[in-house]
Amino acid sequence: MIKNLLFDLGGVIMDLDRDRCVRAFEELGMTDADDFLGVYGQKGDFLALERGDITPQEFRDRLKPHFRPGVTDEMIDQAFCRFLIGIPRHRLEALRQLRGKYGIYLLSNTNAIMWNSMIAEQFRQEGLEMKDYFDGIVASFEAHCYKPDAEIFEYTARHCDILPEETLFLDDSESNCEAARRCGYQAVHVAPGTEFINLIPEK
């Protein structure tokens, strides 16, 4: 029996556009932005930021040599957040409706720069805060682990006090879904153009 829904953020709740971020970094002078930024996962300094291994300021300082002279911290943050398009309001409404039927949880590979700016702002569209939509939240930069590693799925079960076998995980990456299944979760892949509300069993 499914008692809990565990949502990925990007590509499931929030729409993304990686190419916008690549172009924004290129406009700041980065010549290898396409190689720096992954589609479903990051590497190098980006991965270190999303795992919480470095601070946002350390991240900015490491990236500055890749940009033209004069690029500020604010310009870096703004370009980075171009990765995010936003959350359609109907998905926020769906989360509220589902919360009356299931435990609702969030598990996201993300970073403090986006988390404390545009992500937080997008969840305020209805006058609420992010925490008002979920019974528990796990962000990779706070957990110091990262999907698809088993460690973050085990951490989520402990942190949120949920049983994997009673939890349906929804993610836009099939490799993340497979990793969740290996850890005992039920999982469904949210393909591009699919709304998560249509993948949740009736209850």
8 is catalytic: yes
In contact, 145 and 51? CB cutoff 8 Å: yes
CB atoms within 10 A of CB 149: 15
Which two structure tokens, joined as six digits, stand for 96?
């509220």
**Distance (Å, whole) CA 84 – CA 61:** 22
**Distance (Å, whole) CA 159 – CA 136:** 8
Which two structure tokens, joined as six digits, stand for 165?
């076998």
CA distances from 203 to 1, 32, 144, 155 (A): 10, 48, 34, 27
Q: What is the DSSP string of 83-96?
A: GEEE--HHHHHHHH
Annotated catalytic residue, options 8, 45, 171, 172: 8
The three-state secondary structure class of 68 is coil
* Active site residues per annotation: 8
